[in-house]
Amino acid sequence: VRKPRNVGRAAIPRRDVPPNFGVPPPEPADPPPEVADPPPEPSKTPPEPADPPPGPGNTPSRPAGTAKVGKAVGKAVRLERAHTELIGSLEDDRPVFVDPSGLRRRRLRWLAYVLALLLVIALALVWWSQLGGTSSKPPNVNQCTATAQAGCSR
Amino acid sequence: MTVYHSAQPSEPEMPSGQIPAIRRRRSVVRVLLVVILIALLLNVLLVKAYTSQGHGSDGLKDSDATDDSVPAVVRDGGPVLDPHDGRPHSYRMPARTVALTFDDGPDPTWTPKILAVLRKYHVQATFFMIGSEVARHPGLARQVAGDGHEIGAHTFTHPELADISGWRRDLEYLQTQQALVYATGKSTSLLRPPYSSLPDAIDRDGWKTIQDASRRGYVTVLNDLDSRDWARPGVANIVKGATPEGTAGAIVLMHDAGGDRAETVASLDRLIPQLKQRGYQFKTVSAALGGAVPANDPVRPSDRWGGRSLVWTVQVADATWDILWLILIVVGALTLARTVLMFFVALGHARRRRKRSWGPPVTGPVSIIVPAYNEAETISAAVNSLATSAHHPVEVIVVDDASSDGTADIVEALHRANVRVVRVPPGGKAKALNAGTALSRFDLVVMVDADTVVEPDSIHRLVQPFADPSVGAVAGNVKVGNRRTLIGRWQHIEYVIGFNLDRRMYDAFGCIPTIPGALGAFRREALRDVGGLSTETLAEDTDLTMAIHRAGWRVVFQDSARARTEAPSTVSQLWAQRYRWSYGTMQAMWKHRHALVERGPSGRFGRRGLPFIAAFTVVLPLLAPFMDVVAAYSAIFLNRWETLLGWLAILLVQTITAILAFRLDHEPLRPLWALPLQQFTYRQVMYLVLLQSTGTALTGRLLHWQKIRRTGEVTMTTG
């Protein structure tokens, strides 16, 4: 929502913006940027390094003058009065995924420990059963019950 | 593109020596977990390789080298050998008796068919099974035993027993026995060594292994008649080969696995009635010998545990391998489909762009916001290139996020009339950009990283799409400026292919996931609609882009608006950057997941774009390590040349895609020589980063950020 007092009267700042600010660039119809002459360099305006750059804390010097401009041509305000607006918060939002309590992390860690332990035990059992076994034929259960055969007590 | 570090005074950097003991211990545990996981996978793959050794057919070895160490009584004797007590014993089938024997099973296709034929004629036979196959199909072995047939051992992996060492031979016997005991509840005393044939073909080594087996309680069963059915000579020939002369008894060798056994099944249907007519009886080996040798004996239930663990191991290994193959096929198909799609869509996109303009030229004023944190090396090049843009007028707002290296002073010393410096308290890139947007005055807002140098007409080209009132944001074409090192060249290739070609495809589908922080333009209205940038994710650019999509704005890619950015020049910097990107992208997708079920433009983006983005930026790259595992396994255990060929085919497709991307981008093709090398480090780094960020997402840990070290190498003179 623009304030009506800015319409129709433009305060021309002295240095802060290029002199043709607010009006269409000098080239009338779409110039192909590659072949066009370099645009007038903003830095060619007489630099006055002694002046601090405009900022929230600095009050720039008074306007050099005023010019009457039509409604449709353009409008400009002094830099510090420029129409700006805060969009988006400057507060910290809670980051996605982050669990400040650490509960999820603790649970996952324990789950990982338990799973890893189980897997390692399973792996060890498999290796033990393969390398620790005897290559002889297992004893016949009937013979084992009848006589105390070698290997039955395994 | 900046890995933007928000100054966090509360989190002082700690040298690793000062990491508290508990954190050090946890990182050791984490490494241990990874080692365990890798060890398990290796173990499973080795089991798979061990149990899947290919083998030739039996009865191939026809050694006529007679050896004095083999007693004559064995060579001229029967096919059943039991040289116990140091004396050779051999047995022969009685007259008019045939023992049918089937090797190499069980097989899920052919064993049931053979069982059906045998059942039809009420005939009992002997099956010499391979232990690893029994472990795969214990049910089949149980069925064979249940039908009253006899089961013998044919070793676990079908090696030539005489050629392997003693401990491996022991393992072969033990594992076969374990598998049979688990499947049938009975052990076996019968052994048929692989590649064995007639008794007179036994050589010295063969005789030694037979004696050795006998000491372990096994009776070796050779054969009298080889049907040679494995060669598929035709039913008539099989029957002829399996028919004994006169009234002689015989052990007949056949196979119920190892290929197409239809001829074997058909020949049984002829052989059995023919021999029965001649008065022959069909018996199992031990039954034919009238109990002279033992066969299948029941064992204690406790003896089944070894077999159980073995069977489970083999089955887990098989299942793992099947899953790996499935992943390989799915990933391969998706990647290929994506490449082909990308190829044609990008071509079409480029053609459309050449033909169509956006509308009347956009010449309105543009605000350029440059967030900077300790960018002293690069800031002046970046700001100069922006302030002297061909687009006119522009205002450049450098938002200094509490730099400590005088970044703001450097900008102020440039004395450019259309450049302003805004100093904000430390808060991160998103907040700096929000502050810059708040202080900017024009309706078109361009955001550029402080390490990025734009071409003079880039800003003008970048804002041209805003002639279309539905366009809310425009992505620029970001290129790597420092390409002299290998890592820079790799990133250059990746930027051109991945970001440029990908972005064209996403653009064609209307779901560009990210407007790069290095160069992007926004309509103020669109920024206002989504409430600016948020600090909820680490990839604020992706988050913002998705929000703009959901607000109903079009997001387009303007490939002619080029900028050069300084890419990370070391692996650790690259790691940090990609960690932020992949983690941030996941965060952004999760944050916008509700778009999947919403109505209107948000739902359109959610259903069309999000699954696409999730599949190609997270899921596929996450599965990439499995491709490497399968490739490594195939190269070691399977056909080396086929693996190489497959790899070369993938490389060819990639190269063609790369050439297309480079051509579309008017880039010289020279850096492409580094493409094959990319497969060996770069790719791995990329998916390991993704794995790590997935872990972080799951555990919900908070991240701390490192800023990449600048070399100030990027200038506009290159290229």
**Which of A 33-62 lie inside 8 A of B, CB atoms?**
33-34, 36, 38-43, 45, 47, 49, 53-56
- Local structure of residue B406 (DSSP, 8 states): -
pLDDT band for position B297 (50/70/90)?
confident
Assembly ipTM:
0.73
Q: How far is A30 from chain B (nearest CA, A)?
A: 6
Give just the sign of the alpha carbon dihedral A143, A144, A146, A148.
positive
What percentage of chain B reaches a pLDDT higher than 70? 92
- At residue B426, the pLDDT reads 84
Residue of A nearest to B399 (CA): A55
A vs B: CB pairs below 8 A: 206
Shortest CB distance from A17 goes to which of B309, B395, B531? Answer: B395
**Which of B 27-56 lie inside 8 A of A, CB atoms?**
29, 32-33, 36-37, 39-40, 43
**Cβ atoms within 10 A of the Cβ of A73, count?**
12
Given CB atoms, is A70 within the 8 Å cutoff of chain B?
A: no
Distance spanning both ends of chain A, measured CA to CA: 92
* 3-class DSSP state of B2: coil
Reference B180, options B113, B133, B236; nearest CA is: B133
Strand (E) or helix (H) holding B448: strand B444-448
Strand (E) or helix (H) holding B461: helix B458-463
**Which of B 105-164 lie inside 8 A of A, CB atoms?**
none
**Which of B 400-459 lie inside 8 A of A, CB atoms?**
412, 415-418, 420-422, 427, 430-431, 434-435, 437-441, 456-457
Mean pLDDT score, B331-351: 88
Given CB atoms, is A11 within the 8 Å cutoff of chain B?
A: no
Distance spanning both ends of chain B, measured CA to CA: 19
Are A87 and B437 a contacting pair at CB < 8 A? yes
- At residue B392, the pLDDT reads 83
- At residue B463, the pLDDT reads 95
Given CB atoms, is B467 within the 8 Å cutoff of chain A?
A: no
**Which of A 106-135 lie inside 8 A of B, CB atoms?**
108-109, 112-113, 116, 119-120, 123, 125-126, 129-130, 133-135
DSSP B103-148: EEE--TTHHHHHHHHHHHTT---EEEE-HHHHHH-HHHHHHHHHTT
Three-point CA angle B60, B64, B66, nearest 5°: 135
Q: Give strand ranges (E) for B214-361.
A: 219-221, 225-226, 250-255, 281-282, 296-298
Residues 6+ apart with CB under 8 A from A85: B438, B528
**Cβ atoms within 10 A of the Cβ of A133, count?**
21
Three-point CA angle B512, B513, B514, nearest 5°: 100
- More confident call, B29 vs A140: B29
| Residue A150 to residues A137, A154, B180, Cα–Cα distance (Å) | 12, 9, 21
- Local structure of residue B199 (DSSP, 8 states): G
Are B37 and A116 a contacting pair at CB < 8 A? yes
Q: In this model, does residue B124 exceed pLDDT 50? A: yes
- At residue A28, the pLDDT reads 43
Helix-helix angle B138-146:B166-184, to 10 degrees: 70
Contact by Cβ (8 Å): B310, B175: yes
pLDDT band for position A36 (50/70/90)?
very low
Instruction: Summarize pLDDT for B705-719 with one digit per residue, the tens.
Output: 534 445 555 654 433
pLDDT band for position B538 (50/70/90)?
confident
Q: In this model, does residue B578 exceed pLDDT 50? A: yes
Reference A66, options A55, A56, A78; nearest CA is: A78
- More confident call, B328 vs B67: B328
Shortest CB distance from A90 goes to which of B32, B434, B439? Answer: B434
What percentage of chain A reaches a pLDDT higher than 90? 5
Q: Give the C-alpha separation, B423 to B490, whole Å.
A: 36
Given CB atoms, is A98 within the 8 Å cutoff of chain B?
A: yes
Give which of A135, A140, A154 to mutate to test B binding, by max B Cβ within 10 Å: A135
- At residue A152, the pLDDT reads 42
Mean pLDDT of chain B: 87
pLDDT band for position B642 (50/70/90)?
confident
Q: Give the C-alpha separation, B159 to B171, whole Å.
A: 12
pLDDT band for position B65 (50/70/90)?
low
Q: How do strand B366-372 and strand B394-401 relate by DSSP bridges?
A: parallel
DSSP chain A: ---GGGTTEEE--SSSS-TTTTS--S--S---TTTSPPPPPGGGS---TTSPPP-TT--PPPPS-EEE--TTT-----GGG------S-SSPPPPTT--TT-HHHHHHHHHHHHHHHHHHHHHHHHHHHHHSS-SSPPPPHHHHHHS--TTTT-
Reference B657, options B351, B333, B339; nearest CA is: B339
Chain A contact set for B461 (CB, 8 A): 33
Strand (E) or helix (H) holding B559: strand B554-565
- At residue B650, the pLDDT reads 84
pLDDT band for position A61 (50/70/90)?
low
Instruction: Summarize pLDDT for B416-463 with one digit per residue, the tens.
Output: 989 999 998 888 888 899 999 999 989 999 999 999 999 999 999 999
Give which of A12, A137, A149 to mutate to test B binding, by max B Cβ within 10 Å: A137
Chain A contact set for B439 (CB, 8 A): 84
**Cβ atoms within 10 A of the Cβ of B199, count?**
24
Q: Give the C-alpha separation, B44 to B40, whole Å.
A: 6
Q: Give the C-alpha separation, B557 to B94, whole Å.
A: 87
Q: Give the C-alpha separation, B700 to A26, whole Å.
A: 55
Instruction: Summarize pLDDT for B139-179 with one digit per residue, the tens.
Output: 999 999 999 999 999 999 999 888 888 888 888 998 999 99
* Catalytic positions of B, written as ranges: 103, 255
Q: Give the C-alpha separation, B664 to B657, whole Å.
A: 11
Contact by Cβ (8 Å): B513, B502: no
Mean pLDDT of chain A: 60
| Residue that the structure tokens 């015989």 belong to | B250
Contact by Cβ (8 Å): B541, B456: no
Given CB atoms, is A7 within the 8 Å cutoff of chain B?
A: no
Are B37 and A25 a contacting pair at CB < 8 A? no
Residue of A nearest to B360 (CA): A30
